[in-house]
């Protein structure tokens, strides 16, 4: 049996996010398919390497709250010409974290 990697409840989402590679000063857009207070699961047309440090930049649906956590790619795989990655938040400010908690709780 495969051990569960997640420590927090997650919700399914349909959110577009800008992902900024902090090492290369490069960005592209991804689809956030799930999120928790500790990270996001994304789908991309470009591969992300495990260990990469990134900054996500997205708005919570129905709000004006911008979320901009720093994150690390913890796993990545490809299927059908798409890349699926899990990003664990390294840092997120308290206001953004509380907004994220409220959004997840209301979903």
Asked whether residue 6 is assigned to any structural domain, the reply reads no
Asked whether residue 94 is assigned to any structural domain, the reply reads yes
Asked whether residue 1 is assigned to any structural domain, the reply reads no
Domain region containing 46:
11-106
**Burial group, residue 55, by CB count within 10 angstroms (0-12, 13-18, 19+):** middle
CATH of the domain at 68: 2.40.10.220
The pLDDT of residue 3:
47
Backbone angles phi, psi at 106, to 5 degrees: -80, -10
Smallest Cα–Cα separation from 88: which of 56, 62, 57, 63?
A: 56
Q: Which pLDDT band, with edges at 50, 70 and 90, does 1 fall under? A: very low
pTM, two decimals, is: 0.90
Q: Which residue has the higher pLDDT, 6 or 97?
A: 97
Range of weakest confidence among 6-10, 31-35, 69-73, 86-90: 6-10
Asked whether residue 86 is assigned to any structural domain, the reply reads yes
Asked whether residue 4 is assigned to any structural domain, the reply reads no
Q: Is the pLDDT of residue 5 over 60?
A: no
């Amino acid at each position: 049996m495969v051990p569960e990697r997640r420590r927090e409840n997650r919700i399914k989402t349909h959110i577009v996010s800008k992902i900024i590679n902090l090492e290369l000063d490069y960005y592209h857009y991804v689809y956030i398919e799930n999120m928790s207070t500790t990270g996001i699961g994304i789908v991309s047309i470009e591969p992300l390497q495990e260990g990469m440090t990134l900054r996500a930049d997205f708005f919570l649906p129905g709000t004006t709250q911008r979320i901009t956590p720093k994150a690390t790619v913890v796993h990545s795989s490809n299927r059908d010409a798409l890349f699926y990655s899990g990003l664990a938040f390294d840092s997120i400010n308290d206001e953004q974290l509380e907004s994220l908690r409220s959004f997840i709780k209301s979903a």
